[in-house]
Chain A
Amino acid sequence: MLSDGKKELFSSPLHWTILSNGDADFHDNVIFFGFDKKKAAPVLVAKVPRLVENGWMLKVEYEHLVELWNCIGEDAASYVPKPYAMTTLQERPVLVLSFASGESLTRLSPKSFWRNSRQVSALTREAARSLRNLNRLTESPIEQDETRDTRFLEKAEKFKHLFQITGEEERALTALAETVAIRAASASHKVMIQGDFWHGNMIRDKKRRNLMFVDWQFARWSVDVSMDVYFFLLAGALSATENEVVKQHAKDAFGLLSEWRKDIIPEYLFAYGVPENYVLLPQKYGMMMCCVEKAVRSMLEFGYSHPDDLVWRYLFAELMSWQHEN
């Protein structure tokens, strides 16, 4: 019987709703919402991979969530679901979590939301504050035998190998890798980053109205928070400028980011604040780093390319002309 501390999670056989994301990608998970007879809201959520061999992803997510809960205790309830168990049902791996009640931000409208700067500004500031609070909670000193290496070099190499990059892009990539390494070497603390910090992985809690963060399979300890901080902005700009022509999509997203540079990005970064003990790269480097990681992630983690990889590669090229801030 599953329990949350001493409390049993359910008292009768559960009823289920199975939710998929509406496409047939076999590398995705499906989500089961379990209902107890006595309660209106689900008592638990179970994530199951469509292909059994992808169960490792859920195991990684479970381990990260357990680590996070162990690290910050009950405060974690304000930010992430509680991991109840990693188990096997009918030979399928299953991750069992608490239910985060509220509305997912996945389908924020490209026009009515992302083109409304007041709404975007409010969400970005809120996301920045929540992220910073969570980072403060996990901030821990780096032990003597621990590495500060962010493994960015490996991703940069994969990027070079995967795409036909120009000489100028290669030089920019080298400069970026050097900056990432130099900054990392100066850090004294690490934090747990979520690794996929975008609005699609956020749920607005129904009661507390705060943001909850889900999908922790790409989480890791890092001395550099740039991936989470800048990915949120880039994913928002890409969502706002949907376009089937990939290159144009990247161009439009870059255009919107440039507009956001006047007020939304400075406000967002101000709300996040300046970390003293770990790294937040300058805008240009931080955003380019995100593009590299996102462009090669699918290939490195799963061994195949994702349709979105190219847009990240093109956005990297666009960001070459981003002027460094003062």
Chain B
Amino acid sequence: MQLDQQRMRRLQPRVFKYSLDWRFLLPISDPDKTFVFFEDDFDFSQTLEQVGIPFSNQLSLLDIEQKEKRSAASFVFPFGLPVRWVGKEQADQIEFFRSMRKLMGDTGNLLVGFNNPWNYRSRSLTKYHFSTSRRMNSQLQEAGFNVIKVFGVFPTLSIPEYIFDLNAQPVYFTLQHRFKRKPFLLNLLQLLSHTIGVALISDFLPCYFVVAFV
């Protein structure tokens, strides 16, 4: 039976630490046109390879500018803006988004994941900037993006169990599904959403994805 265990382990596919489900928010599925930016992470690079997305981290924005395939491409920062690349000031981040917009042209799209500063569990993740949905929205608008859509994410950006529109029905449904075994918390959230509204509840989600078009 020991032999069985060794043999079966060899036959099992590798299960990664990242689900890449943000891909479902993007309008195209051509992996060659998806440029993903993140801080060095071998496991994440291998996960991208699994679905055929080229590993773009090593490319500078200038390299990408010279690429022919960048029309109608997706530019993805799945864990947020890297601290090493972009300053924490509002002006730095707007400037960065502005340069992304120029790079994308009129046909591309941008996806950024980010943790809420309220999310105490991700406090130790200092490689990427925290943000809020309001702040991100206003930065992208100032950078010239016209269509901006924010999605709520539970519980983490690496393996989101839920990704949802920030409208009343999906938010209610997600909270009910997520907290059905914690009735006290669920009742509290429902009470809050009736009194202060879904929009305010949505400000306290652990993390988000935002998709923006020119």
Q: Give A residues with C-beta under 8 Å from B.
A: 15-27, 30, 32-33, 35, 39-42, 48, 50-52, 90-92, 103, 107, 162-164, 246-247, 299, 304-307, 309-310, 313-314, 317
Contact = CB atoms under 8 A, between A and B. Distances in A.
Contact of A107 (B12, B21, B161, B181): B181
B15 A17 contact: no
Given A304-B13, A305-B12, A314-B1, A42 B18 contact: no
Q: Looking at B24, B47, B160, B174, which has the most chain A CB atoms within 10 Å of its CB?
A: B24
Given A17-B174, A39-B169, A51-B51, A24 B18 contact: yes
Interface residues of B, number: 40
Nearest to A28: B19
Given A33-B170, A42-B173, A18 B15 contact: no
Contacts of A32: 24
B165 to A, nearest CB: 4
A263 to B, nearest CB: 28
Q: Among B4, B16, B163, find the residue whose CB has the most chain A CB atoms closer than 10 A.
A: B4
Contacts of A41: 173
Given A18-B163, A50-B19, A163-B4, A27 B13 contact: yes
A281 to B, nearest CB: 25
B84 interface: no
Contact of A92 (B12, B29, B173): B29
Contacts, number: 107
B5 interface: yes
Interface string B23-57: 01001110000000000000000010011000000
B8 interface: yes
Contacts of A309: 8
A68 B158 CA distance: 38
Nearest to B169: A35
Given A20-B160, A51-B51, A164-B3, A304 B12 contact: yes
Contacts of B170: 15-17, 33, 35
A16 B13 contact: no
A246 B173 CA distance: 36
**Residue in B13, B17, B174 whose Cβ sees the most chain A Cβ within 10 Å:** B13
Contact of B165 (A17, A21, A48): A17
Nearest to A40: B169
B172 interface: yes
Nearest to B9: A305
B162 A15 contact: no
B164 A164 contact: no
B159 A17 contact: no
A154 B73 CA distance: 47
Contact of B19 (A23, A52, A247, A305): A23
7 contacts: A15-B165, A17-B173, A24-B19, A42-B169, A107-B181, A162-B8, A299-B11
B127 interface: no
A18 B164 contact: yes
A19 B162 contact: yes
A9 to B, nearest CB: 15
B119 interface: no
A48 B29 CA distance: 13
